[in-house]
Amino acid sequence: MSLILESIDRVVGGETHIADMNLTLEPGSFNVLLGRTLAGKTSLMRLMAGLDTPTRGRILMDGRDVTGRSVRHRNVSMVYQQFINYPSLTVYDNIASPLKLAKVGRAEIDRRVRSIAEMLHIEHLLDRQPLELSGGQQQRTAMGRALVKDADVVLFDEPLVNLDYKLRESLRDELRSLFSERNCIAVYATTEPAEALALGGNTAVLHEGRLLQYGRTEDVYHRPSDILSAEMFSEPPINIVKGVITASRVSFDETLHFPVNDDLSGLSPGEYRFGIRASHISLTPRAEDDIEVNMIVDLAEISGSETFLHVHNDLFHMTVHLEGVHEFRVDEPVILYFPTHKVYAFDRQGAVVHIPEHLGGI
């Protein structure tokens, strides 16, 4: 079953929540909606579910126009950020509740509830009530209730955001493998680029209610359509540096430049903005074409086994993503290196005009 949104607008009280949305989700696909807060992820999911009606446009499910149909008449399930379970019912009855409403036979209910519980590793908790469970177990119960319906479309609205990091990682892996065995359309909303990359599948990058780009997750990450898509799908955001291409070199100023390589030789001379991912910058040279940049430390932000180094010079500010723990003092001078063969180029309007060929990793 496919899900198609054709020229969808959603305007509420004069405020545009979704604008000119065209999106086709294929049967059996896992799709990530990636965007910052207020990008339109929840608004889009509510339209897919039938909880809201578009101001303009059509929604098609398996070729049928369901634009005006309510959620009751669509085979859709949704999992929210909060652990929404019936507190007075056992885990078994929580998961079984949509099947009972659909008047499914008792034996079939039992088979499906136990099968889903086993998939989610909560089969030993079926007799407990939600308040006796941990946060992760409560969210697994909510997921079980959504999955047991065998819905055509399953929507996850940032379902792991309130869980600790290790639990999120575990559930994310389980979700990915779980949907590889199902033929429904899964849609998962997140604000985190790293989570989108971990989930794989396809990613739709949203910004202020508009679709910037949609495609295979790795392709969207490595091949952004414009500067805004590159910034949205990057944490920390991709570093953007203004520069000029001449016949022989790329210049940021008279003291910082490098020869035009084969990758960039096809671009016309003029002003551009160049994108350098934080993870591609290093403290030591790693490639022959690395350019050396003198910077001053603003902040060294240590997060677990990673360090986010915020630096500046007279030309620009940059953020560097370093593996391991690195301690720097504020205002300490530091020399950084980035490979020119991994530089993106955007024109003055923000459209991508050069994508590096040999990126590797993230």
pLDDT value for 183:
79
Give the C-alpha separation, 280 to 262, whole Å: 19
Whether domain 239-354 has CATH 3.40.50.300:
no
Delimit the domains of the chain by residue range: 3-224, 239-354
Residue 122 CB coordination number (10 Å): 22
Give Cα 307 distance to the centre of its chain.
22
Q: What is the largest CA-CA distance in the chain?
A: 78
- CATH of region 3-224, choose from 3.40.50.300, 3.20.20.80, 3.40.109.10, 3.30.70.20: 3.40.50.300
Give this prediction's pTM.
0.89
Residue 23 CB coordination number (10 Å): 18
Q: What is the DSSP letter of 330?
A: T
Residue ranges for the chain with pLDDT beneath 70: 358-362
Residue 284 CB coordination number (10 Å): 8
Of 152, 114, 116, 120, nearest to 137 (Cα)?
120
pLDDT value for 358:
63
pLDDT value for 174:
77
